[in-house]
Structure 1
Amino acid sequence: MSILEGVESVLAMFEQGRHEVTFNDVIDELGLARSSASRLLAQMVRYRLLELQPSTRRYRPGTLLIRAAQAATQAHPFDEQCRAILAALSDSTGFTAYLSMLDGTDTVVLQRLNGSNPVQVLSPPGARRPAFTTAMGRVLLSRLPEAEFRARYGTSGARELPEAPAGCPTTVAELAERVASASRERSAIAVNEGMPGIGAVATTLADPLSGDVRGLCLSFTAMQVSQAQAQALRETLVQAVAPVGQRIGDPLWLHPGDTTGQ
Structure 2
Amino acid sequence: MSILEGVESVLGMFGEGRHEISFNDVMDELGLAKSSASRLLAQMVRYRLLELQSTTRRYRPGMLLIRAAQAATQAHPFDEQCREILATLSDSTGFTAYLSMLDGTDTVVLQRLNGSNPVQVLSPPGARRPAFTTAMGRVLLSRLSDAEFGTRYGPSNDTGLPLAPAGCPATVGELHERVMTAHRERSAVAINEGMPGIGAVAATLADPISGDVRGLCLSFTAMQVSQAQATSLRDTLVRAVATVGQRIGDPLWQDTVDIPSR
TM interval, short-chain normalised: 0.7 to 0.9
Q: Does 1:176 align with 2:176?
A: yes
Q: Distance in 2 between matches of 1:105 and 1:256?
A: 30
Q: Distance in 1 between matches of 2:223 and 2:194?
A: 16
1:214 equivalent in structure 2: 214
SS at match of 1:100: strand
2:143 equivalent in structure 1: 143
Seen in structure 2, the aligned counterparts of structure 1 residues 45 and 185 have a Cα distance that, compared at 3 Å, is closer
Seen in structure 2, the aligned counterparts of structure 1 residues 132 and 42 have a Cα distance that, compared at 3 Å, is closer
Q: Deviations over 1:154-192 (max 9, x none)?
A: 000000000000000000000000000000000000000
Measure how far apart 1:214 and its partner are.
Answer: 0.2
> In the alignment, residue 44 of structure 1 is paired with which amino acid?
V
Q: Distance in 1 between matches of 2:216 and 2:222?
A: 19
Q: Deviations over 1:26-83 (max 9, x none)?
A: xxxxxxxxxxxx234466359x6765896587xxxx9679743453123211000000
1:203 equivalent in structure 2: 203
> In the alignment, residue 191 of structure 2 is paired with which amino acid?
V
**How many residue pairs were aligned?**
215
Q: Distance in 2 between matches of 1:50 and 1:180?
A: 30
Q: Distance in 2 between matches of 1:83 and 1:118?
A: 21
1:72 equivalent in structure 2: 72
Q: Which runs of 5+ in 2 are unaligned?
A: 14-25, 32-48, 50-60, 258-262
For 1:52-201, list aligned pairs within 5 A. 55=29, 67=66, 68-201=68-201
The answer to whether the Cα contact below 8 Å between 1:70 and 1:110 also exists between their aligned partners in 2 is: no
Q: Distance in 2 between matches of 1:43 and 1:229?
A: 45
Seen in structure 2, the aligned counterparts of structure 1 residues 55 and 92 have a Cα distance that, compared at 3 Å, is same
SS at match of 1:85: helix
SS at match of 2:91: helix
TM value normalised by structure 1: 0.76
> In the alignment, residue 39 of structure 1 is paired with which amino acid?
S
SS at match of 2:190: strand
- Identity, % of aligned positions: 75
> In the alignment, residue 94 of structure 1 is paired with which amino acid?
G
1:15 equivalent in structure 2: none
Measure how far apart 1:120 and its partner are.
Answer: 0.4
> In the alignment, residue 7 of structure 2 is paired with which amino acid?
M
Q: Which runs of 4+ in 1 moved over 2 A?
A: 38-46, 48-57, 62-71
Q: Distance in 2 between matches of 1:204 and 1:225?
A: 22
Seen in structure 2, the aligned counterparts of structure 1 residues 66 and 141 have a Cα distance that, compared at 3 Å, is farther
SS at match of 1:223: helix
The answer to whether the Cα contact below 8 Å between 1:66 and 1:126 also exists between their aligned partners in 2 is: no
Q: Distance in 1 between matches of 2:134 and 2:124?
A: 16
2:234 equivalent in structure 1: 234
Seen in structure 2, the aligned counterparts of structure 1 residues 135 and 91 have a Cα distance that, compared at 3 Å, is same
1:253 equivalent in structure 2: 253
Q: Distance in 2 between matches of 1:217 and 1:223?
A: 18
Q: Does 1:44 align with 2:44?
A: no
> In the alignment, residue 86 of structure 1 is paired with which amino acid?
L
Q: Distance in 1 between matches of 2:159 and 2:11?
A: 33
2:55 equivalent in structure 1: none
Q: Which runs of 5+ in 1 are unaligned?
A: 1-37, 258-262
Seen in structure 2, the aligned counterparts of structure 1 residues 180 and 83 have a Cα distance that, compared at 3 Å, is same
TM value normalised by structure 2: 0.76
Q: Distance in 1 between matches of 2:220 and 2:177?
A: 24
